[in-house]
Structure 1
Amino acid sequence: MEFLETLLASIGEFVASFGFRLLGAILVLVVGIFLIKWVCNLIVKSKGMQKSPKNAQTLVKNVVKIALYIVLLFTVAMIIGVPAASLVAVIGSAGLAIGLALQGGLTNIAGGIIILCFKPFEIGDFIETSSHTGTVVDIGLLYTTINTPDNKRVVIPNGTVSNASVVDYSAYETRRLDLELSVAYDSDIDMVKETLLSLANAHELVLKDPAPFVRLGTHGDSALIFKLRVWVKNEDYWTVNFDLLEASKKVFDKRGIEIPFPQLDVHQK
Structure 2
Amino acid sequence: MDLSVIWPYLVNIALAIITLVVGLAVIKMITKFVGKQIERSKLDNSLKPFLKSLTSAILKILLVLSVVSILGADMTSFVAVLAAASFAVGLAFQGSLSNFAGGILLLSLRPFRVGDYIEGNGYSGTVEAIQILYTELVTPDNKVIFVPNGNLSNSGIVNYSAKDQRRVDFKFGVGYETDTQHVLRTLHQIVENHPSTLDDPEPFVRLSAHGDSAVEYTVRVWVNAEDFWDVHFDILEQVKTRFDQEKISIPYPQMDVHVNQ
TM superposition score normalised by structure 1: 0.69
Give the corresponding residue for 1:250: 241
Q: CA RMSD in A?
A: 3.1
Q: Which amino acid aligns with 1:104?
A: G
Identity across matched positions, percent: 43
Choose the corresponding residue for 1:225, options 216, 222, 237: 216
CA spacing shift, 1:61–1:101, aligned 2, 3 Å: same
Secondary structure at the counterpart of residue 109 of structure 1:
helix
Question: Is 2:170 aligned against 1:176?
Answer: no
Question: Is 2:189 aligned against 1:185?
Answer: no
Aligned partners of 1:130, 1:105: CA distance in 2, in Å?
17
Give the corresponding residue for 1:137: 128
What is the deviation of 1:101?
2.4
CA spacing shift, 1:140–1:101, aligned 2, 3 Å: same
Secondary structure at the counterpart of residue 231 of structure 1:
strand
Gaps of 5+ in 2: 1-29
Aligned partners of 2:85, 2:165: CA distance in 1, in Å?
51
Aligned partners of 1:228, 1:127: CA distance in 2, in Å?
25
Q: Which amino acid aligns with 2:193?
A: A
Give the corresponding residue for 1:163: 154
Aligned partners of 1:213, 1:66: CA distance in 2, in Å?
59
Aligned partners of 2:192, 2:171: CA distance in 1, in Å?
17
Aligned partners of 2:216, 2:118: CA distance in 1, in Å?
29
Give the corresponding residue for 2:138: 147
Aligned partners of 2:181, 2:58: CA distance in 1, in Å?
66
What is the deviation of 1:66?
9.4
Kindly provide the CA deviation profile for residues 132-190 of structure 1, in whole angstroms up to 9, marking residues without a partner as x.
Answer: 22111111111111111122211111111111111111111111100111101222222
Q: Which amino acid aligns with 2:44?
A: S
1:49-64 equivalence runs, <5 A: 50-53=42-45, 54-58=48-52
Task: Verify the 8 A CA contact 2:121 2:151 in the aligned structure 1.
Answer: no
What is the deviation of 1:65?
7.6
Runs of 4+ in 1 over 6 A off after TM superposition: 62-67, 265-269
In terms of Rg, which structure is larger?
1
Q: Which amino acid aligns with 1:222?
A: S
TM superposition score normalised by structure 2: 0.71
What is the deviation of 1:131?
1.6
Give the corresponding residue for 1:20: none
Q: Which amino acid aligns with 1:238?
A: W
